Amino acid sequence: MPLEPAHRPLPGPRQILADSGSLYLANAIIGFIFAASGPVAIILAVGSNGGLSESALSSWIFGAFFLNGLITLLFCTLYRQPLVFFWTIPGTVLVGPALGHLAWPEVIGAFLATGALMFVLGLSGWVRRAMSAVPMPIVMGMVAGVFLRFGLGLVHAVRDDFWIAAPMVVAFLLLSATAAWARPFRFIPPLIGALIVGAVAVALLGKFQSSGGGLVGAHLLAQPEFVLPVFSWRAMVELVVPLAITVLVVQNGQGFAVLDAAGHKAPINVITVACGAGSMLAALVGTVSTCLTGPVNAIISASGERHRHYTAGLAVGVFALAFGLLAPVFTRLMLATPPAFIAALAGLAMLRVLQTAFNVSFRERFTLGALVTFLVTVADVPIFHIGAPFWGLVIGYAVSRLLERKDFGTAASKGP
């Protein structure tokens, strides 16, 4: 399958300005704030628990926003579609357990190998076939198993720091419940409301820890850390295939579905090539694999005229560049908050994803394989120094092949 051509003619500055508007800017702001809140908290939670330094986390966030912002600007211009690229959240979570027994350079090597694999798949046109190789319920069983600890972390945050986490949960629930009928609250995403309430609670309780010089001691502009990768077989086996699946199936698949529902025809092969190239470049500064984001693209394509949606994507790209350049300041700001604040924010950000993962895993077909995958992943027992998420996929798939053969026949008759 050939790579999809760009939209011609390319929009110039006047055309972009004519297609822009307050609605698209507002959608871009909401979408970007979503990306810069809960998902960033997940990076900080995973990296901090894995022993990464503040400078390494800052470099990770720089790559996640600045480099992916550049790709976003390029693709929104070339294809006149809301094609926003960020990083794989499930992939970020997968890295967490690996940091317990893999060195950071080994993880970087796996990031590079994952990018190379996706780059080749994109050029070959085999993406659709690769996406359908493992049944989605089994994949989502692995995702549910990995994400479960974030849901538990939310509960533990309420237990450990009630007056910070509980108001965040209440704000999230109230905004979720009232957004459908109370017009003033429709433009406040529940996650953003939880962030604001949590920040106020931290300030009122005086729990903002400005140690290490506070924000004054942080570098203003990003100083990316370039890590020499180490290619080890255990990191390759444990991370490459699961990371590629989270990008190609979980994240990109969600993004393609969102754009298709909004009337856009996303260039699947070119996007896969971009994810591969972007992942290899981002890996050099310690950033997990690049993907086409689902939630942000859903936000910016939810309203307005379809042919103008790309301008919201361009705005998100500009915001991402600025956020990436100022990554040290935002990283130190987030790390100065209590652990319960980050845990609650990350847990709330994962609630809907965790709900979707369970729904897809146990809705209809491959339910036994999905259950086995989930249990093996949650058990978190490495085999041959290879993490549980990989073995969850392998064992769950094997169980389905043995005991759920009719489901494979049904899936083949329905097509990918």
The SS3 call for residue 86 is strand
Q: Left (φ > 0), alpha (ψ -120 to 50) or beta: where does 216 sit?
A: alpha
Q: Does residue 213 carry a pLDDT above 50?
A: no
- Band of the pLDDT at 182, cuts 50, 70, 90? low
Q: What is the pLDDT of residue 192?
A: 79
Instruction: Write down the H helix ranges in 80-124.
Output: 89-98, 104-124
Half-sphere exposure of 325 (CA within 13 A, CB side): 8
- Band of the pLDDT at 416, cuts 50, 70, 90? very low
Stated as kind and residue range, the H or E segment containing 291 is strand 290-292
Q: Parse the chain into domains and list their residue ranges.
A: 13-161+207-355, 167-205
User: What does each C-alpha distance from 304 to 26, 63, 283, 292, 295 come to in angstroms?
Assistant: 11, 30, 36, 21, 17
Tens of pLDDT, residues 273-324: 999 999 999 999 999 999 998 888 887 887 789 999 999 999 999 999 999 9
Tens of pLDDT, residues 84-105: 999 998 889 889 888 988 999 9
Contact 10, 77 (CB under 8 A): yes
- Band of the pLDDT at 124, cuts 50, 70, 90? confident
The SS3 call for residue 49 is helix
Q: What is the pLDDT of residue 52?
A: 92
Q: What is the pLDDT of residue 342?
A: 80
